[in-house]
Structures are given as structure tokens and as C-alpha cells.
Amino acid sequence: MDDDVLDTAASKGTPLRYRFKLACLGAGRKSWLLRQKAKIWVSTPYLLEKYSAWSAKLVPPSPVSGQPSCTVFYHGSATHDAEIRWLRPIVEEVLKLDERCSFEIVGGMDVYRLYHGLARVRVVHPMKWAAFQKFLALPGRTVGLVPVLDTRFNKARSYTKFFDITRSGAAGIYTRGSIFGSIVNHEVDGLLQENDPEQWIESILDLLADAGLREKMVRNAKRRAEELRLSAQESYTCLC
């Protein structure tokens, strides 16, 4: 036990729903556990002393061991509902085939409902621009996705998502034939793929499996982003 789940009084002050859950799943089974002469493992000296009559055993917490985790993400806004839906079966298959992998997506309750039921999915609430830039700089992301479906809205899109993925320190996969094809060099600073779900699944899994390729692409993407920044700066100077 990491919490005092067998004593309803211990949860006083916590939300009522939480107290009800503990009462049903913990304290409600206390009599049955006593009849079974159950012995319990606890994680703190406090619990060890409190449940000494149960012959409690102190078992210190330890970290979960396993393979390094990796995060695939899509940070499209609500205007990209088509892409959010298009990615859903792709994400499902990737999560099924690579158990190290988790998926991060930005959205509200509609996105939460769409991806509900998939293991290891985190839906991040939309945030203001300054907070989003800080959020992007947090470490831990592995592969960024930027599918661009053939819609009227997407015809006007720029390649700013390339900068977002590069800022996050991840390798990016982009739609071939979109605006990203004009700046991304395939297998150098990103991957370009047709909007074929099978190709995207394969590309994601390949990148997750090849840390060396990802690191090379991220380094090259940072150089490419700097080139684009300097080029844009020259254009601004000319306009002024």
C-alpha cells in the first residue's frame, strides 16, 4: 500500500468521489482481507506501524525498469480536425506494435473522446502561444507528425510546423507534395511520405527503432531551420 486505503477516516479532506472509490475498493474489503489472514506490503514506516497487527512488511518503492520510452506527437489545432481523425488508426497501430511508445496530441474534449480507449495517449489542452513555445522546449519528444491532407484550408499553409518539431528536438515526418516538400530534404532533415497510412506507420516505427538516424535528422533540421531564419531575416531587411 502506498496510501492508507483501508481506513476511510484517512481520506478525510480529499474529494468525495475519491473517498467513495477508496471505500468501495479498499476499506469495503477490509473484513474479507482479515478473514483471509492476509499479510500486506506497505511503502512507509507510518503504514508499517499502523498495520503491525496484519504482520505488515515494509517494501520500499523502487523505479519501474524497462526499455527507454519514446513519444510521438501531433500538435495540430482544431482547424486540423481532418488530420486528427486521419491519424487515429495510424496511432493505434503504432502503439500496438511498439509498447515503448506513447502519443501526445493537442485538443479538447472532442479529441479526448476520439482517442479514448487507446493506451498511452496524452491529450494536452490548447494553450496560448507563449506557453506553447515553452511547452515545445520541454525534453522527451521523439517523432513529430505533420500530415497535410488535400483541403482548401491546407493550400495556404506555411511550413512553420517544421520549426515547432525542430524546437522540440524530434525528427519529423511530413506529407510529400505539401509545402514541407519545398524545405525538407528526405532522410536528411526529415522524412517525406505520401498520405498512405501504411507508409506513415512504417516510417514512424523505423524512426523509433533507429536512434542514430533520428539524431542525424535533428542535427540537420536545426541547421536547416537556422538557414531559413537567416533567409527570412534578409527578406525582412529588404522590405524595410
CATH code where residue 96 lies = 3.40.50.2000
The DSSP call for residue 195 is: S
Do 74 and 53 lie in a common domain?
Answer: no
Q: Which run of H or E residues covers position 21?
A: helix 16-25
Do 94 and 163 lie in a common domain?
Answer: yes
Among residues 112, 64, 86, 45, the alpha carbon closest in space to that of 200 is found at 86
**Percentage of the residues of the chain whose pLDDT score is greater than 70:** 98
Do 162 and 88 lie in a common domain?
Answer: yes
Q: Which residues pair with 124 in a beta bridge?
A: 106
Among residues 111, 143, 107, the alpha carbon closest in space to that of 126 is found at 107
pTM of the model: 0.80
Do 12 and 129 lie in a common domain?
Answer: no
Position 240 scores a pLDDT of 63
In a domain, 239, yes or no: no
Q: Look at residues 37, 58, 79 and tell me which one is the last residue of a structural domain.
A: 58
Report how far residue 226's alpha carbon sits from residue 235's, in angstroms, rounded to the nearest whole number.
Answer: 14
Position 238 scores a pLDDT of 72
Residue type, 17: R
Q: Give the number of domains in the chain.
A: 2
Position 63 scores a pLDDT of 82
The values of phi and psi at residue 144, to 5°, are -105, 140
In a domain, 1, yes or no: no
Do 109 and 195 lie in a common domain?
Answer: yes
Strand locations in the chain (E)? 41-42, 57-58, 70-74, 101-106, 121-124, 143-146, 171-175, 191-193
Position 200 scores a pLDDT of 98
In a domain, 114, yes or no: yes
Containing structural domain, residue 26: 8-58
Do 148 and 109 lie in a common domain?
Answer: yes
Q: Which residues of the chain have pLDDT under 70?
A: 65-66, 239-240
Do 42 and 132 lie in a common domain?
Answer: no
Q: Look at residues 58, 78, 97 and tell me which one is the last residue of a structural domain.
A: 58
Do 186 and 111 lie in a common domain?
Answer: yes
